[in-house]
Structure 1
Amino acid sequence: MSQPVTDLPSRLLLSLTPWRNAARWHIAFSGGLDSTVLLHLLAHLAKNHSLPALNALHIHHGLQVAADAWPEHCQSVCDELGVPLQVIRVQVQPGASLERAAREARYNAFTAVIQANELLLSAQHRDDQAETLLFRLMRGAGVRGLSGMPRQRTLGRGHLFRPLLDVTRAELEAYAAEHQLCWIDDPSNQDRQFSRNYLRHQVLPVMIERWPQAVTTMARSAAHLGEAEGLLDELAQIDLASARTVSDFDWLGVPSLELAALAELSAARQRNALSHWLAALTRLPDTDHWSGWEDLRDAAPDARPVWRLAQGQLHRAGGRIWWLAGRWLRPANDAVAWHDPSQPLVLPDNGMLSCRGQIPDGPLQIRYRQGGEVMAVGDRGHRDLKRLLNERRVPGFVRGRLPLLYRGAQLLGVANLRDLSGSEQDGWHLHWAPLSEDQGLS
């Protein structure tokens, strides 16, 4: 049973209580019915309650001619309510799904705007949640997908909150009529070729005619699945804790997990733990693509399997799996002269190199492995570099980026590797600080 429209302001204020100390509330304002009601509610609540500063954000996708007039409409609404408006124009990348591409462009824009301790308020409601559940069910989603839209989540440096998920579309329409609000009717919302519109106009009305409480019960199912997802997340944290062991190559700053700890789990727990871990790194694979994990996990010990995902790759080396993206996926090839070894050397796309202790005589040069290198190692004489790297179990993906210190044709040292990175007798040591993830490796 829907609650009276007159309760909407108090219900909204109650749901926003935990966020009253935020620095600013941004409202995702499309100009449509839902966001217009949300903006109107917040603007009027701000007159009688101490709320954070309000700011409306309108994303202009530029996908249809009619949309060019929407920023002006949004500005007039905001002017009337006394809420500042920020219009952001985005470029929607072409792809198989226009809906997905527009959503990604929109949320990328929101992420760029939202600062620490700020909140983005979005106006999705209970009917939207039911549509989301049906849409994802048709796509074969698992528990995470079928839990629907979360009420809150992190967004960039701030948070996203959906305060109207317990409110029906009918309640919003009644509020808009009572307050004589004007809003934009997006023509594309009637286009049945878009899956969500088809569900909204063709499927849900038939279901509601047969089961009047369908929207409410589907939202309840999404909440149950959300609780199940929380339990699966807790299980994933337990399983990942045993796989986040110390590695000799932690200094690389590359995310990695111990393979043996994962392999001891059931297949379902492996997928659950990896999904949780990968979610922060890449778009998750669909069900069929998970065979790539099995191939990587079960490959022969001397193999170098790779599982290619949307934003990077998983490699297996040294009894671990490693997440590689960006520059880690290509070797560094450019030789660099080191004219002043007393100063750190910035390597193109490969971090920084420094020499500690007594500096070797020059002229010196930094090169990268090409194959066939030989190095003098103490009383062991000359040894193939490949064999030396194998002895130290250096992961294959690192070998093409390890800085090699040369004097003429002589290989003097390999950065960061024990017994190879310098000379105890001559008192020097070569230290390499790879680019961190924050510096552009993912």
Structure 2
Amino acid sequence: MREESALQSSIDDALAGTPPGRCVWIALSGGLDSSLLLTLAVDACRRHPRPLRALHVHHGLQAAGNDFARHCRRLASHLGVPLWVERVDVDRSAGQGVEGAAREARYAAFARRLAPGETLWLAQHADDQAETLLLAALRGSGVRGLAGMPSSRDGRGWRLARPLLGASRAALEAEAKRLGLAWVEDPSNADERLDRNFLRHRVLPLLETRWPAATPRLARSAALAGEADDLLDELAALDLARLGGDPALLPVVELQALSAPRQRLLIRYACQRLGLSTPPARRLESLLDQLEARVDGEVRVAWPGVEARVWRGHLYLLRPVEEGPSDDGRGGGWLEWPVAWDGQAPLATPWGVWNVTLRRDDGAAVSLRVAPRGGGERLRLAGRGRRDLKRLLQELEVPPWERGRLLVVHHGEEAVAVLAPSGRWRLAAEGWSAA
């Protein structure tokens, strides 16, 4: 089979894997790879109809950016594909370097544009995968990092795929020349101060003088690491199910019964399930050491965007606990208390918007007031009468850090519900239902 036919076959296979009638987006930078991907996608969609669109992200980092956008407009117009150009601001102060910050801004632009059920195609190829594996190895990454870029993944309601990941850059360039394609070269790709460019221009060519198949073999190693990572996810899912199934709440004794590698694996997996950043190696070891020292102590280990806390024999994984409302009656520096609420609309709080509802069992319309705990509140519970809220929280084993963020809902002068941001701790009075 000719190489160009193999490339088109890869695109046809990827298109067959998309839901009928759902839009396929091409991330179009204007370079060789994405220009070829769009061209091949147009051909495939003529034979196997799907809605096709292109998206160009203008990072505003270099003067040549306007040339990229112009080329993308010309190519999309020539091919008859609708094109959207998204301008983004790259936060260079985020501490992740220009490349990392640009990537974050780019993916945020993708998320804003794509609708649930749609698919985004990226044009990375086998050479990119080899570079990614080498970068991960040089950072000392584990199996997940060595797996490089997945051929596809789901997230945020839409699907991301890389249909050219098995092809070499040389094959893409040969096909682009055969088709007479034009593309733009990014001047920054020649800057060998950037790690990826140094590998591309210096390291990989040197490796290939000794091992001519170095690039495809490295890409193959990444694919095998990806399979191993999938198996580790399956193992972690089994362990999580045995420990109760809640990634935010892990029983310490059962966790410690696992081997140390499985403990580390499960905590990383739980963070990923919760959408939290995984702990750096040293933070993770510190957390496990403290679990060993104090099974029920006041353990708190933090890393960016996450807190791990232990209370009453359970490890809690959560976003950092913020300060509660201040004594002057203002919460989070912006919210006046009490807040009027109808029990149905999303509830604005100093800790974000809570999607919770509260209704009377008889269906009557209500006018509610929401405020932080003031002390002394009592809640009338079915079959138990009026109970002191402080004792109820102790009975329910509500962690101390959650108690500072509880909100009490009043109907007239009566407290009818208690709400917390985690959603795990909700109490409704007799005749009321919270969800």
The TM-score by the shorter chain falls in which range?
0.7 to 0.9
SS of structure 2 residue aligned to 1:56: strand
Structure 2 letter corresponding to 1:298: E
Asked whether the 8 Å contact 1:344–1:354 carries over to 2, the reply is: no
Distance 1:399 1:220 in 2: 51
SS of structure 2 residue aligned to 1:140: coil
1:415–1:115 CA distance, 2 compared to 1 (3 A): closer
* Residues 1:329 and 2:327 are matched in the alignment: no
1:83–1:354 CA distance, 2 compared to 1 (3 A): closer
SS of structure 1 residue aligned to 2:185: coil
Distance 1:194 1:391 in 2: 57
Asked whether the 8 Å contact 2:340–2:370 carries over to 1, the reply is: no
Q: Alpha-carbon deviation of 1:311? A: 2.2
Aligned partner (choices 54, 64, 68) of residue 66 of structure 1: 64
Mapping of residues 175-194 of structure 1, within 5 Å: 175-194=175-194
TM-score by length of 1: 0.80
Structure 1 letter corresponding to 2:404: G
Q: Alpha-carbon deviation of 1:102? A: 0.6
* Residues 1:291 and 2:294 are matched in the alignment: no
Aligned partner (choices 240, 260, 263) of residue 267 of structure 1: 260
Structure 2 letter corresponding to 1:78: A
Mapping of residues 39-438 of structure 1, within 5 Å: 39-47=38-46, 49-94=47-92, 95-96=94-95, 97-244=97-244, 255-280=248-273, 281-298=275-292, 300=294, 303-325=297-319, 328-333=321-326, 334=329, 336-337=337-338, 348-349=349-350, 351=354, 368-369=372-373, 373=375, 389-403=393-407, 415=418
1:3–1:201 CA distance, 2 compared to 1 (3 A): farther
Distance 1:42 1:377 in 2: 62
Q: Alpha-carbon deviation of 1:402? A: 2.6
Q: Alpha-carbon deviation of 1:366? A: 6.2
* CA shift digits 1:344-390 (9 cap, x unpaired): 996744756869699xxxxx9865457xx567899xxxx99767644
SS of structure 2 residue aligned to 1:203: helix
Could you tell me which runs of 5 or more consecutive residues in structure 1 were left unpaired when the two chains were aligned. 247-253, 359-363, 434-442
Which is higher, the Rg of structure 1 or of structure 2?
A: 1
Q: Alpha-carbon deviation of 1:320? A: 2.1
Q: Report % sequence identity.
A: 37
Match of 1:251 in 2: none
Distance 2:345 2:17 in 1: 48
Could you tell me which runs of 5 or more consecutive residues in structure 2 were left unpaired when the two chains were aligned. 331-336, 363-367, 381-386, 421-425
Higher normalized contact order (CA 8 Å, seq sep 6+, divided by chain length) = 1
Distance 1:218 1:88 in 2: 34
Q: Alpha-carbon deviation of 1:303? A: 3.1
TM-score by length of 2: 0.81
Structure 2 letter corresponding to 1:293: L
Q: Alpha-carbon deviation of 1:283? A: 2.3
Distance 2:122 2:343 in 1: 55
Asked whether the 8 Å contact 1:282–1:309 carries over to 2, the reply is: no
CA RMSD of aligned residues (A): 3.7
Q: Alpha-carbon deviation of 1:272? A: 1.0
1:156–1:348 CA distance, 2 compared to 1 (3 A): closer
Distance 2:252 2:62 in 1: 50
Asked whether the 8 Å contact 1:421–1:429 carries over to 2, the reply is: no
Distance 1:337 1:197 in 2: 56
Structure 1 letter corresponding to 2:23: R
